[in-house]
């Protein structure tokens, strides 16, 4: 998978897996990862699907309607790549936090839905419920932060709350942050994610 890896300044640091939104690339969230943890390793990954020239992590059939077969295939590929990257770059596979925005947050959520505890934690900006047709694995020990907007037209409130419920039902510890805006990232949202991260991983 096309990616970029930036080694952190602390050998014992966490590794952020950075998953961009539709139309982004492997470098989009490097600055965000660095804001949340200046010492962390950063692994930015580019989605392998192409929608009208825009990279995505999986196909969709329409706005908010996911191609579930493609989602499952791409999720398994991503999980395998995380193991390969840990070996290639010699980072601790047990100290990984996934940081995703929009489309990237959705495939991150599906990693937990289909694969299980592939990371110690996740920061999910404006995610949706990836699918409702499977039985989720146990997610005991997983810490998740979800950022959402009360006026997000691309990610309705019930989607964010639904994802929280799914994860909590399987034993994950989930913290929600709401702002009054839409699908965009806000500085307050980023600061809240950092405060959550510092409490759980510093």
Alpha-carbon span 123 to 128, nearest angstrom:
13
Strand partners, 122: 98, 144
3-state secondary structure of 108: helix
- Whether residue 150 contacts residue 178, with contact meaning beta carbons closer than 8 Å, is answered with yes
102 labelled catalytic: yes
179 labelled catalytic: no
152 labelled catalytic: yes
Q: Which residue out of 20, 152, 160, 192 is catalytically annotated?
A: 152
- 17 φ, ψ to 5°? -95, 115
Q: Which residue out of 20, 102, 125, 179 is catalytically annotated?
A: 102
Q: Which residue out of 3, 67, 173, 183 is catalytically annotated?
A: 183
CA proximity to 107, closest of 67, 142, 157: 67
Residues with catalytic roles: 102, 152, 183
């Amino acid at each position: 998978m096309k990616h970029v890896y930036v080694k952190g300044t602390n050998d014992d640091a966490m590794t952020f897996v950075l998953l961009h939104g539709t139309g982004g690339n492997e470098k989009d969230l490097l600055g965000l990862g660095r804001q949340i943890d200046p010492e962390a390793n950063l692994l930015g990954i580019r989605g392998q699907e192409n929608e009208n020239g825009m990279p995505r992590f999986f196909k969709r059939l329409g706005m908010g309607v996911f191609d579930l077969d493609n989602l499952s295939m791409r999720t398994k590929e991503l999980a395998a790549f995380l193991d390969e990257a840990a070996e290639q770059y010699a980072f601790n596979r047990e100290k990984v936090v996934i940081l995703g925005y929009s489309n990237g947050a959705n495939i991150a959520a599906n990693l937990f839905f289909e694969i299980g505890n592939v990371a110690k934690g996740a920061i999910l900006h404006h995610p949706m419920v990836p699918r409702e047709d499977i039985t989720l694995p146990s997610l005991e020990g997983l810490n998740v932060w979800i950022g959402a907007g009360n006026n997000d037209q691309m990610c309705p409130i019930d989607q964010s709350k639904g994802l929280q419920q799914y994860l909590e039902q399987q034993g994950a510890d989930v913290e929600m942050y709401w702002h009054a805006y839409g699908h965009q990232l806000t500085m307050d949202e980023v600061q809240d994610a950092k405060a959550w991260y510092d409490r759980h991983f510093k």
